[in-house]
Amino acid sequence: MREAHRPDARPLCAKIEPVRENKAVNYRTLGRTGMRVSEIGFGAWGIGGNQWRGGGDDESLAALRRAIELGVNFIDTALAYNEGHSERLIAKVLRETPVAVATTRAAVSVATKIPPKNRIWPAYPGTPISEVFPYDYSIECTETSLRNLGVHTIDLQQFHVWNPEWLDRDEWRRAVEDLKRSGKVRYFGISINAHEPDTAIEALETGLIDAVQVIYNVFDQTPEANLFPACERLDIGVLARVPFDEGSLTGTITEDSVFEEGDFRAGYFRGDRKREVAERVKALTNDLGDSEPLAQTALRFCLSHPAVSTVIPGMRKIRNVEMNCRVSELGPLSSDLRGVVRNHAWNKNYYR
């Protein structure tokens, strides 16, 4: 274990006692980091609470505890998720973990992210790095996340946006090198802008980036063309995010769906988008038949690609945790089902 950042903080990857229960989750290696991570990870944006309505902290904590009980040992969060609230909830569960809940294969690891200083997602072309990730700011945000999580070391720190125009700039390179050297960060990654998987490929060639987080799902299959081959060649870990397309691929979005004011999905599915989604999902399910629930197929699709280390669905309810973890037992999709799914790629960007 590296030198402690804070004398009162416990290691994030502390060894923990197993519970007496069969685990539902399988494990993969996160690229060249060598970390063994559950192929079903815990996406912790939703438990932040400010952009995803309809739940509370008690429900979120119960879901996270249940996920760890079932073998989930990888959690992805960000400082921007309700200004660190998601990180602090995770810290609460991690403090309980040494004796209360545990995994049998590996210690629980957490990934977090440095938000853009200008708070603009994505990073638009022409935006200077001085407005997004100046050196001192990246260090400061990492220090804040360490305090929120109550740990010595962040297992995977990530830039929350990326602009390939920054490739040769010293600010981000020096931040990555110094944070690793100090022991505050074990590994570093990039959370790639929505629907722009190729923009991070050159950064992977620098040797400074150990993992990428990218949108990958039934509708957005674009990482398969260039990003995934680069990750396999360079042994880069892959975190597949938004496997359900913010809910579309659960099959629960209809033309009549209503979201609370302030809920992220109210904007994502604005205008005629709910109708578009419902039509696309109906076509997909008609082709798939009655093989299994759509959400299971969506997760299995992500796990069918060998470049994917872990898929990180949001899980705020125990029933969703249990359903998602069971998917790990089912294995990848058959070649026939993968062929069906590939016909339903959809070139869209609802984040605009």
Express each pLDDT in 229-246 by its tens digit. Answer: 999 999 999 999 999 999
The tokens of 328 are what? 């790990």
Strand, coil or helix: 111: strand
> Is 286 within the bounds of a domain?
yes
229 found inside a domain: yes
Is 259 among the domain residues? yes
What is residue 261's predicted lDDT score, i.e. its pLDDT? 81
Burial per residue of 159-184, b for 16 or more beta-carbon CB atoms within 10 angstroms, e otherwise: bbbbbeebeeeebbbebbeebbeeeb
Q: Does residue 147 fall inside a structural domain?
A: yes
- Tell whether the model's pLDDT for residue 91 goes beyond 50: yes
Residue 19 within any structural domain of the chain = no
Give the domain range for residue 149: 27-342
Split into its structural domains, the chain has a count of 1
- Going through 51-184 in order, the beta strands assigned E by DSSP cover 74-76, 109-114, 154-159
- How many Cα neighbours within 13 Å face the side chain of 221? 15
- Mean pLDDT score of the chain: 89
Confidence check: pLDDT of 18 > 60: no
352 in a structural domain: no
Residue 49: pLDDT band by 50, 70, 90 thresholds? low
Beta strand ranges found along 120-184 (DSSP E): 154-159
User: pLDDT tens digits, residue range 62-89?
Assistant: 999 999 999 999 999 999 999 999 999 9
User: In this predicted structure, what is the pLDDT of residue 96?
Assistant: 84
Is residue 206 one of the residues assigned to a domain? yes
CATH code: domain of residue 188: 3.20.20.100
* Residue 116 resides in a domain: yes
To the nearest whole percent, how much of the chain has pLDDT over 70?
89
